[in-house]
A and B are shown apart, each in its own frame.
Chain A
Amino acid sequence: ETGVTQSPTHLIKTRGQQVTLRCSSQSGHNTVSWYQQALGQGPQFIFQYYREEENGRGNFPPRFSGLQFPNYSSELNVNALELDDSALYLCASSSRLANYNEQFFGPGTRLTVL
């Protein structure tokens, strides 16, 4: 069974650019959640996708957007990058078929905005 994978591992962008981060969910999982973890902080919920539809959003501006594909993999897009967007971006997959939806985390993508 393949775990959650994320790409790329590291990314450096400049202010104003756009970035796309990718997440492959664990086999059998139909839900993907994205979190932003600033340095020295706990992860903060960005949004969740279930069966290709957004299913809840945290306190993040519209320039943070996402997609989920039929194979349940997901993308996080950030437009007009700001310096404060520098963070570790974590995705987590889970299955809504289960009573308790344990979320399994990927290794994260470290984004640096210069």
Chain B
Amino acid sequence: AQTVTQSQPEMSVQEAETVTLSCTYDTSESDYYLFWYKQPPSRQMILVIRQEAYKQQNATENRFSVNFQKAAKSFSLKISDSQLGDAAMYFCAFLNRDDKIIFGKGTRLHILP
């Protein structure tokens, strides 16, 4: 079975500091996509960053970057220069070959002013 595990239910970071959210996953597939989604209190699920498994280079989107370790099946999200608007639930997710997204349980990120 394909699973996604986020071991940090909650995290806090000081505004302008850097924080890393952890994620591990399990699959027997060799080609897949990994995502980090942000879900603010408005409930809208917003794609933060995407990583293709066949690409060795880690994805980067402005202040957001990932550390993708395929052999270890690890996919962490680093947020640099944290801003108050980054406060939200963050979900690590995996898109399998059947086009279904499997989500982790989420990490609630608090930004301290």
Contact = CB atoms under 8 A, between A and B. Distances in A.
Nearest to A101: B99
A105 interface: yes
Interface residues of A, number: 27
A60 to B, nearest CB: 13
Contact of B98 (A43, A56, A108): A56
Per DSSP, are chain B's interface residues mostly helix, strand or loop, or mixed? Answer: strand
A107 B44 contact: yes
A42 B45 contact: no
A43 B33 contact: no
Which 4 residue pairs spanning A and B have beta carbons closest together?
A42-B103, A105-B45, A108-B43, A45-B100
Interface of A: 31, 33, 35, 40-45, 48, 55-56, 58, 88, 90, 92, 94, 96, 100-103, 105-108, 110
27 contacts: A31-B99, A33-B100, A35-B101, A40-B105, A41-B105, A41-B106, A42-B91, A42-B106, A43-B45, A43-B101, A43-B103, A44-B103, A45-B100, A48-B100, A56-B99, A56-B100, A58-B100, A90-B45, A92-B101, A101-B95, A103-B101, A105-B45, A105-B46, A106-B44, A107-B42, A108-B43, A108-B44
